[in-house]
Structure formats: structure tokens, C-alpha cells
């Protein structure tokens, strides 16, 4: 492997590791509760699962440090960014509309648009990418850091000023929910959290900081290739941000679903330390079977994420017993039968993740890299 490819192997592995964990968390095997660390905190608090989506956004920012490294005319840049953001948003919307039909009184009927969720994971990625791209285009690194501070402090101020005075950080009383209900409407929001949408519009502001942090981190690595001192500084910065998030948390609690500013500091800090560790371990070295496993996930992250979300829906639609889809049947009758409890649920999720990896492997072997 050539030196340039090996030089940023840590970024490829980081991105692939994030996609791997996202699929594992999102497709816990049925028949038993998953390990508590693989389930999102119900509101305030933090679990390992809560770190996955922020890391995906961080990885998006890392990619921007390379995608935007060459000069490009403003008009071409604008068209490219708007097109990519629109495509990602549309794919996210269609993902939630899928399979587009459902059974009503024994007959198949089209799922109406009025019942389809508008926001979601890919939609948030699209909006954060859009905001971060123009920030990167116009601002220096120092001004980007200043913008991050404004976004985090501003988000806190908005929640406290425009939420329910009695409970400004509650699920239905926060300013973000009020904005979503006003602009999007109840029927287009997440259905499993009492009317609160964890990927609502207002949360785009602090989420964009995760993307910008990834951009700054990858740019820093590019400017200091193979420097142990730089990796140490990155790890120290991560530790400082973690401590800052914990210090802030009594006033602005850590909450993934609300995407609080303290949560952003915590997750960015974790990602900086993880990336610094991977860089120290992998920079300047050739890929090996262990790193290649994660590189496969990182080559086509959006494709594999979409496949993981859609294929499990298809498996649920194929009934092997009345009301029991293939995925549920396999999870209960195979994995729970062999290893009951949370470990069986994890094994099922890992097996499904490997199926997704196989698709990525075939694409990688054939040189297929889907770029929106």
C-alpha cells in the first residue's frame, strides 16, 4: 500500500468503526433486552450507544477536510453542496416512508405522505453537512471554533428562553419540540417518543458542531502527519472537552435525544481521543485484515447504513408465522435458543452486521464506491 493511503488509515478505520457500531446498535436481536450500554439513554444520561451518531457526524466532518481541500469556484461549490445535501435528505425521507405500502384490513394500501416522518438520521446529516460546508468555505479555523462556541451557547439560550418556563428541557416542553410542531406537524414527527423527535430541526445547530469538530481534527492531522506531539495534543484537547462537558452538565444536562451542548462537548472529546489513539496506532502503516474489516464499512458508509435499515424491514415483512417476520424468528428461535438474554441479542445484531459487511466487501472488491 502506498504511503498516502496508509497515512490516513486511522480516519478510514474511524469511519468504518462508527458505521459498524451504528448497525449493531440499531438492529439489536429480538427476544431479549439488549445490554444497557447498547441502548440510548431514555433522556438525561449517557450510554455507549449515544456516542455512535455523533461520531458519524464527526466522520462526515473528517471527510470534508479532504473533499474541500482543492480550490473550487463558488458556484460549483454551492451546486455540489446543495445537491449532496438534498440527495441525502431525500434518501432519509424515503427510508422512513419505505416500504411505501402496508396492510389495511388484509389488503395492501399506500402509506400516505401525511403519516411519514420528515426528519431523521440522514436528514440531520444532510442539514449539518450543509451548514458546516459553508462555514468551512468562508471561515478560518479560529472563526470556526468561535462559531462552534456561538452555536453551543446559543442553543442553550434558545432552549431556556423559548421552552416551557416550568420545564424547558422536557421532551414536549423544549423549544425544539415546539418548533417542530409548528413547522412540521405532529404526524410527521417520530412516533415512538410521545411526540418528541430526537432529530428535530433545532437540534441541527449543536449537531453541526460535531461535524465542524471532525473537519478541524482531520485538518490538524493533515497538517501534522505522523507527529506524536500532535496526536498527544489532540488527546489532551479531547480530555479537556470531556471535562468541560461534565462541568457544564449540572446546568445543561448531557442528553443525546435533546443533543445538549454538554453532550456535544463530551462526544467530541471522546472522538478526539479515539482518533488520536487510532492515528498513533495506525498512521504510516499498511492495512491489515483487522483494519480492512472496518475500511469496508467506511468505503460506502451511507449505502451500508441505508441497506441495514431497509433490509431489516424487508426481513420483518416476510412472515414465517402469523405476525412473525424472519428477523424476529431467527433472533428468538436461533440466537436466543443458543444463548438466551442480552448476549444472544448482541450475537444476532453482530450476525446481521456481518451480512451488511458482505455487501460492502463485494462492492469494495469490485471497486464500487458510491459518492452522492
pLDDT at position 99 is 83
No. of H helices and E strands in the chain?
15, 4
Q: pLDDT category, 106, cuts 50, 70, 90? A: low
Residue 290 has pLDDT above 60, yes or no: yes
Q: Identify the residue with better confidence: 21 or 69.
A: 21
Residue-level pLDDT at 213: 97
Residues 118 and 191 sit within 8 Å (Cβ to Cβ): no
> How many Å apart are CA 33 and CA 35, to the nearest integer?
7
Average confidence (pLDDT) over 244-263 = 97
Q: What's the pLDDT at 162? A: 94
Which pLDDT value is given to residue 9? Answer: 87
Specify the pLDDT at position 332.
Answer: 93
DSSP label of 224: S
The residues, any chain, with a CB within 8 Å of residue 333's CB and separated by 6 or more, are none
Q: Is the pLDDT of residue 2 over 50?
A: no
Separation of alpha carbons 164 and 132, rounded Å? 30
Mean of the per-residue pLDDT values of the chain: 90
d(CA 136, CA 147): 11
Whole-number Å distance between alpha carbons of 273 and 238: 5
259 closest CA partner among 217, 219, 211: 211
Mean of the pLDDT values across residues 330-352? 94
CA atoms of 333 and 335, how far apart (whole Å): 6
- Grouping H, G, I as helix, E, B as strand and the rest as coil, residue 101 is strand
Contact 304, 17 (CB under 8 A): no
Per residue in 114-154, pLDDT tens?
778 889 899 999 999 999 999 999 999 999 999 999 999 99
Cell of 343: 448476549
Amino acid at each position: 500500500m502506498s504511503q498516502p493511503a496508509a497515512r490516513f488509515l486511522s480516519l478510514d478505520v474511524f469511519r468504518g468503526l462508527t458505521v459498524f457500531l451504528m448497525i449493531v446498535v440499531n438492529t439489536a436481536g429480538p427476544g431479549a433486552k439488549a445490554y444497557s450500554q447498547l441502548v440510548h439513554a431514555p433522556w438525561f444520561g449517557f450510554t455507549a450507544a449515544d456516542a455512535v451518531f455523533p461520531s458519524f457526524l464527526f466522520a462526515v466532518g473528517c471527510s470534508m477536510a479532504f473533499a474541500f481541500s482543492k480550490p473550487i469556484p463558488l458556484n460549483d461549490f454551492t451546486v455540489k453542496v446543495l445537491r449532496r445535501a438534498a440527495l441525502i435528505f431525500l434518501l432519509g425521507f424515503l427510508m422512513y416512508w419505505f416500504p411505501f405500502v402496508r396492510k389495511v384490513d388484509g389488503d395492501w394500501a399506500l402509506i400516505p405522505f401525511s403519516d411519514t416522518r420528515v426528519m431523521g438520521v440522514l436528514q440531520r446529516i444532510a442539514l449539518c453537512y450543509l451548514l458546516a460546508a459553508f462555514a468551512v468555505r468562508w471561515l478560518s479555523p479560529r472563526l470556526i471554533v468561535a462559531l462552534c462556541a456561538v452555536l453551543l451557547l446559543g442553543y442553550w439560550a434558545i432552549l431556556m428562553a423559548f421552552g416551557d418556563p416550568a420545564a424547558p428541557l422536557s421532551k414536549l416542553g423544549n423549544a425544539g419540540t415546539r418548533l417542530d410542531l409548528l413547522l412540521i406537524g405532529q404526524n410527521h414527527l417520530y412516533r415512538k417518543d410521545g411526540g418528541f423527535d430526537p432529530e428535530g430541526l433545532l437540534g441541527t445547530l449543536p449537531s453541526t458542531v460535531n461535524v465542524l469538530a471532525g473537519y478541524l481534527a482531520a485538518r490538524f492531522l493533515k497538517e501534522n502527519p505522523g507527529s506524536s506531539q500532535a496526536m498527544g495534543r489532540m488527546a489532551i484537547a479531547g480530555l479537556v472537552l470531556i471535562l468541560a462537558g461534565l462541568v457544564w452538565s449540572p446546568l445543561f444536562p448531557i442528553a443525546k435525544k435533546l443533543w445538549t451542548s454538554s453532550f456535544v462537548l463530551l462526544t467530541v472529546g471522546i472522538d478526539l481521543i479515539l482518533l488520536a489513539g487510532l492515528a498513533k496506532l495506525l498512521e504510516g502503516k499498511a492495512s491489515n485484515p483487522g483494519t480492512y474489516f472496518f475500511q469496508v464499512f467506511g468505503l460506502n458508509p451511507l449505502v451500508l447504513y441505508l441497506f441495514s435499515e431497509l433490509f431489516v424491514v424487508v426481513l420483518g415483512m416476510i412472515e414465517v408465522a402469523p405476525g412473525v417476520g424472519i428477523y424476529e424468528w431467527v433472533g428468538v428461535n436461533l440466537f436466543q435458543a443458543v444463548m438466551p438474554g442480552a448476549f444472544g441479542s448482541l450475537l444476532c445484531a453482530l450476525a446481521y452486521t456481518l451480512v451488511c459487511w458482505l455487501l460492502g466487501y463485494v462492492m469494495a472488491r469490485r471497486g464500487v464506491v458510491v459518492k452522492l
